[in-house]
Amino acid sequence: MNSGIRSTAQQWMESTIVDAKTKTEIASLLRNSDETELIDCFYKNLEFGTGGLRGIMGAGTNRINKYTIGMATQGLANYLNQNFPDEQIKVAIAHDSRNNSRFFTEVTAGVFSANGIKVYVFEELRPTPELSFAIRHLGCHSGVVVTASHNPKEYNGYKAYWNDGAQVIAPHDKNIVSEVNRIKSLSDVKFEPDTNLIVAIGKDIDEAYLACLEKLSLAPDIIKAQKDLKIVFSSIHGTGITLVPEILKRFGFENVHLVDEQAVPDGNFPTVIYPNPEEKEAMSMALKKGQELDADLIMATDPDADRVGIGVKNNHGKFQLLNGNQTGALLVYYLLEKWKANGKLTGKEFIVKTIVTTNLIEEISKGYSVKYYNTLTGFKFIAALIKKLEGKEKFIGGGEESYGYLIGDEVRDKDAIASCAMIAEMTAYAKNEGKSLFDLLMEIYCKYSLYKEDLISVTKKGKTGAEEISQMMSDLRNAPPSTLGGSEVIKLIDYKESIEKDLITRTSAPIDFPKSDVLQFITKDGSKISARPSGTEPKIKFYFSVRTSMKSKDEFDQKMGELESKIATIMKNLHL
């Protein structure tokens, strides 16, 4: 083992700042003949990325704990003090239901206050989108939410926000990272709080946030007619329980059923393997209750309630989970349909999605003559575009394939609270027309195109794995496939080189996007294949989107089977 690892661990043991419990944990690691865990805990500093921290909780420089949280907060505090030297800086902090989230929140508040920064701290767990709202509502310069999103129970994390309520972007993201990296010792961190600068918030912000969400409703008359719509909701032991039932009630829905086994916030997530609504296993209890009640709609949110998964009855009368692309397309269709019906479209509105999200959203937007934009993967880029166009164009809604959506611009991050309310409203809209939400999706497919999307993550661990991923991207970039799924590849979009190549005419054109290591292949028949190394995990992700025409919902099963076969062929073409 590298002697530096044991030396770093010993420094923590000798530090007067590190508490006795942490030292006991480190001592146990030092005594263990198997040094694997000691190495993993201390071989590097936990990286503060452009979005913040995320990692396994425990002792060590490569773990989430009081000290790594403190160092990150000190770096952010230093950056804020540099940027706003003559102001009383204010930040807001929220946290989810994870183990130690409240403790890490108090540590974060303490360090900020010790640096002369006024801190607004939610008294109890609250959804991430409410933190985004609170930053703008309270005129804060920054904000933090303590969460590890949908990661397993061993994890926790820390997301940093700027004064627009969005996660930090350039240049602040990299500048904050640089400041955090300048913190070399625990003695550089001011841990002693100034309690005079810490203010508790809660119900007052809830009320302001919920009042804004209530204004999003586009069809109160339809909800009144369908107030008995049967809804099943699960918060999967997370923060959604604090506000989703309340916003559904305020919208006018009176027949909401909670999955009681998952309604109590619990950082151990005892009923699921992963608290992720993208996973069928995490949705199983909600599906079971939906079947028992013959529900119209099933919804579940992740621990910090910024993403939502839904289930509806399909054309065979069985409950089916919709993927993020399907739900996103439904939401955009409903929003545009009602904006048009309500006479709200003026020609200055827009829709946003990420580059790996279904192109069906583009087709729908074109159908309503509404402008649409694409951004890089990550909701912070959607928020940045909303800010850029503020006062010139009006954001209606949008989202990304990973189950995150935003309606309206009061919040600047994906918002499952608002999404749950709007999904329930569009289900009521469909039912009022004598349809299910699945029927509405079939109509969209028939009117525009039937799309099928899939995602594969290839894990390559360690230094060798990182080199393999780099080589895979290099090979795809320099020797792109000529055909995929039996269709000629006609276009290569390289977001790292900021260029779009026409592979037929051999011409190129620049693209106006921030640089990112993403490649997209577009085929003659409209398929879209994207390759993107993960920024947080040792993975490379491949996104597949294929399409065909569909004349009636009776063709759905057959056509979907054909598209699934096409994706399987593309995977073989790429040797996946």
Please list the active-site residues.
149
> What is the distance between the alpha carbons of residues 113 and 90, in angstroms, rounded to a whole number?
10
Asked if 298 and 310 touch (Cβ cutoff 8 Å), the reply is yes
Angle between helices 101-114 and 66-83 (to 10 degrees): 40
Count of positions (residues) in the chain: 576
Provide the residue type at 274 as one letter. Y
> What is the distance between the alpha carbons of residues 236 and 304, in angstroms, rounded to a whole number?
10
Residues sharing a CB contact under 8 Å with residue 163, sequence separation 6 or more, in sequence order: 135, 136, 140, 141, 142
Q: For residue 320, what are the CA distances in angstroms to 257, 299, 441?
A: 18, 12, 12
Closest CA to 95 of 59, 62, 68, 134: 134
Asked if 142 and 161 touch (Cβ cutoff 8 Å), the reply is yes
> What is the distance between the alpha carbons of residues 404 and 324, in angstroms, rounded to a whole number?
8
Report CA 26 to chain centroid distance, whole Å.
Answer: 34
The two beta strands, 297-301 and 308-313, are: antiparallel
> What is the distance between the alpha carbons of residues 93 and 479, in angstroms, rounded to a whole number?
47
Residue 86 burial by CB count (10 A; 0-12/13-18/19+): exposed, middle or buried? Answer: exposed
CA distance from start to end of the chain = 36
